[in-house]
Structure 1
Amino acid sequence: MLNALEVCTTVIVGLMVGVEFSVAFVMNPIFTALPEDSGQLARSHGGRMLGAVMPVWYIGSLVLTTVWAIAGWNHPGTGLVVTAGALLILSVIMSILLLVPINDQGKTWTPENRPADWKEQMNRWDRYHYARVAVIIAAFTLLVTALV
């Protein structure tokens, strides 16, 4: 049963990392290169869509990692799992304090109502997101290492 939990947790965290990596290094650069208002509209739509899904994914990943750490407490690699859990906690805190406030504004923007500094706000979100991606990649790496 523990093996199934370990694999399930690792896959779910890995998929989350893949989505967030894709947002940072594939989707947002594509959106930035779109003509006129298309990029801003795409980011707003992405903020609405992923803003609804990602909180569940982040919290679910943290819960699964916590259950793994508790269930495997006396097994090798538990320290790695606990450290991964701490990094996932950090990613949730970063999300709540840094990224969500910007996303909550950006997902309502249209070309008619966006603020004059919308590009600067999106650039700030991108910088915070790069840091969060680094944190969750580190967490994922620790979980994979704990498996072996």
Structure 2
Amino acid sequence: MTITGRILDLASILLAALVAGVFWGPWLAVSRSMNSFSPTVLLALVQRMDRNLGSVMGVLMPVALASMIAVLVNSYRSRPETFYPTLFGFALFLMTLLVTAFVEVPIVTQIRAWTVATMPADWQRLRDRWVSFHLLRVVGGMTGLALLVAGPVLR
């Protein structure tokens, strides 16, 4: 393997670890108990997480995906033991992006506009939907990260 391949692998793994960490941390710290929070606490948490993570993930996720594409291009035909795990890891991270864009962000966009007085009658359903799909992102991100690490480690 060339030094370029090693650098691309390392960059891809580090960036994917940051993305997976952003999924894992809130799940571990907050999401598992989300149904126990009062409306006031829930709104404060979701709005704070949105402010703290929204812009960061808007840059980090595309850069991480681009780094995986670079590994795919670099390893195609020359390193199948890296190419295929990276391809499947990329697919999982792409799935997490789609879940984020089409499920999570629309829910957070609604919550951003809420106050305790204006919360809809079905707010618990939306909260539970967000938590369920967030778990899908955690599993996808961690499994995708494991696949990205597997290629270089198992070669």
Q: What is the TM-score with the length of structure 2 in the denominator?
A: 0.84
User: After superposition, what is the alpha-carbon deviation per residue over 1:10-69, rounded to whole angstroms, capped at 9, x for unaligned?
Assistant: 011112112211111212346655556123212122123222222322221111101111
- The answer as to whether partners of 1:31 and 1:40 remain within 8 angstroms in 2 is no
Rounded to whole Å, the distance in 2 between the matches of 1:111 and 1:99 is: 20
Rounded to whole Å, the distance in 2 between the matches of 1:122 and 1:71 is: 41
Q: 1:93 aligns with which of 73, 92, 98?
A: 98
**Stretch of structure 1 that moved more, 136-145 or 1-10:** 1-10
User: After superposition, what is the alpha-carbon deviation per residue over 1:58-101, rounded to whole angstroms, capped at 9, x for unaligned?
Assistant: 22111110111101221132111111111122111122221111
Rounded to whole Å, the distance in 1 between the matches of 2:27 and 2:57 is: 14
Greater length-normalized contact order (CA 8 Å, ≥ 6 residues apart): 2
Amino acid of the structure 1 residue aligned with 2:131: D
- The answer as to whether partners of 2:93 and 2:141 remain within 8 angstroms in 1 is yes
* Stretches of structure 2 lacking an aligned partner (at least 5 in a row): none
Rounded to whole Å, the distance in 1 between the matches of 2:132 and 2:18 is: 21
Rounded to whole Å, the distance in 2 between the matches of 1:130 and 1:4 is: 31
User: After superposition, what is the alpha-carbon deviation per residue over 1:104-140, rounded to whole angstroms, capped at 9, x for unaligned?
Assistant: 1112322233222222211110001101111111110
Matched residue of 2:137: which SS?
A: helix
Amino acid of the structure 1 residue aligned with 2:66: V
Q: 2:10 aligns with which of 7, 11, 19?
A: 7
Rounded to whole Å, the distance in 1 between the matches of 2:121 and 2:130 is: 16
* Stretches of structure 1 lacking an aligned partner (at least 5 in a row): none
Rounded to whole Å, the distance in 2 between the matches of 1:44 and 1:86 is: 29
Percent identity over the alignment is 22
Rounded to whole Å, the distance in 1 between the matches of 2:33 and 2:96 is: 25
Matched residue of 2:118: which SS?
A: coil
Aligned to 1:79: 84
- The yes-or-no answer on 1:44 pairing with 2:47 is yes
**Stretch of structure 1 that moved more, 54-63 or 36-45:** 36-45
Q: What is the TM-score with the length of structure 1 in the denominator?
A: 0.88
Aligned to 2:124: 119
Question: Cα RMSD between the aligned structures?
Answer: 1.9
- The yes-or-no answer on 1:19 pairing with 2:22 is yes
Task: Judging by fraction of residues, say which structure has more helix.
Answer: 2
How many residues align structurally?
148
Rounded to whole Å, the distance in 2 between the matches of 1:86 and 1:59 is: 13
